[in-house]
Structure 1
């Protein structure tokens, strides 16, 4: 996700410096785009006015932001925009740590797959007011089709988890529906055509259709392990708020079962194949 988002910033005319935990990736991106490369997160913060991060989870975000070579040790950037899927508690920690060194942290996770990232078609959920988003609006507009400002830190993270709970639940339910149709002798393509044109249609179904129908022929875009992580964070948040998520727990159980069967590194669309194996 991060590479096409950074590329859109370059195309929009921003002066971009990149860093990646895999140095070869940042060097290759720089060679392609002509942007600069930082050796550490601290150097990245030293060299820029604003830093955008796209990280997988709380531990990876903490490692990049904290420590002597972390973003918070830098002296240049005054705004840090965390666009990965994080827990609200982690966002609160980042906001507090940033404030201690004079940096404003904004949680601004996104909805949309890699194709949306390439086309600057992401929906951005920002944990700030519209006024607070003003200074970083040119960056957000270069990466997304719309930014919804939710008023306070952590609100973006909450809405991202809520949206992903719907997506992962839909992923599981679609797998069940297609498995049911196949068991009755209906071809997967025909069943998908009907679902895609029914009241149950959702944008995710259309852009992930190739993966559902032929997982092995396409690159992984979002792993089962990441989906399991999302649902663990989401159900933990619900518990802390006293909110029931019975469907969420079912989704989490199925993701854990699939991961235990070796599906962890496969695309989340592989839940369909996991359900087919369970049928046998």
Structure 2
């Protein structure tokens, strides 16, 4: 299949690599062309050029504003003539997805993923899709390369809501874990042992296993999920909750702690750096 990938960040690049390895004819685009170095793919000059070369376009972009610029900006994806389906796989608001879908002749599906860089590399992402099973049939050759579980949630925007809910919980766990480790650190307990006890307890979650190196020594490892993006996710969650008149006091606190850490210079570091922030480190 002729597939386009827009956005070659920490998630988009390994996803593009998997599609190439699976035999798809892949074209890529990124604001910084150097991100495509080493990929056996055609590099498009503009998003429009990308959508002129691909039947299905996967976008992995940071937020609503970035997604809107790439889809509807000058020489944007929607100006292309070939692409008939756009899979927005980043974390964006449900309203943004519905607005995109309503303003193009093509089909725009929210298909955000749960997982981090290792899961993108291994094709074990969990994919939520704002589409019916029938609508996903022709996309299976793409989705099955990228993930090992695909949930068809029906209407546009539903997957975006589900992803926001999942990330809201993850970031809450991230904050609470940081506080737990700050407590055990202060008491003189070995961090590795304390972490492993937590991970093996009723509080254990898959996230703890694959992010273990970052929580034990965040500064020594590559960023897999920037703290600033975690704050963005919590902004989305709180805005969505306000629209539904749902109280989320714990999430509001999580968002505030992330914002404080971001203002202190932790924004570009991994979200595990919240531990260093809570310990008063720099």
TM class by shorter chain equals: over 0.9
1:68: how far off?
Answer: 3.3
Between the aligned partners of 2:88 and 2:221, the Cα distance in structure 1 is 28
| Alignment counterpart, residue 267 of structure 1, candidates 267, 270, 276 | 270
C-alpha displacement at 1:275, in angstroms?
Answer: 0.8
CA distance in 2, matches of 1:162, 1:113: 16
Match of 1:176 in 2: 179
Match of 1:41 in 2: 47
Q: Which has the higher helix share?
A: 1
| Runs of 4+ more than 3 Å apart | none
Between the two proteins, the alignment pairs up a number of residues equal to 272
CA–CA distance in structure 2, aligned partners of residues 68 and 148 of structure 1: 33
Deviates more, 1:115-124 or 1:257-266: 257-266
Shift of 1:252: 0.3
Shift of 1:221: 1.1
Distance in 1 (CA, whole Å) between partners of 2:73 and 2:174 is 38
Give the corresponding residue for 2:5. Answer: none
Which of 92, 95, 108 is equivalent to 2:98?
A: 92
- Given candidates 123, 136, 154, the residue that maps to 1:133 is 136
Alignment of structure 1 residues 57-68 onto 2, 5 Å:
57-68=63-74
Show structure 1 runs of 5+ residues with no match.
none
SS in 2 for 1:69: coil
Q: 2:60 matched to 1:50?
A: no
The question of 1:11 aligning with 2:21 is answered: yes
Please report how far the alpha carbon of residue 181 of structure 1 lies from its aligned counterpart in structure 2 after TM superposition: 1.2
Residue 192 (structure 2) aligned to one of 189, 192, 197: 189
**Aligned counterparts of 1:155 and 1:82: Cα–Cα separation in 2:** 13
- Unaligned 5+ runs, structure 2: 1-10
Kindly report the root-mean-square deviation, in angstroms, between the aligned alpha carbons of the 2 structures.
1.2
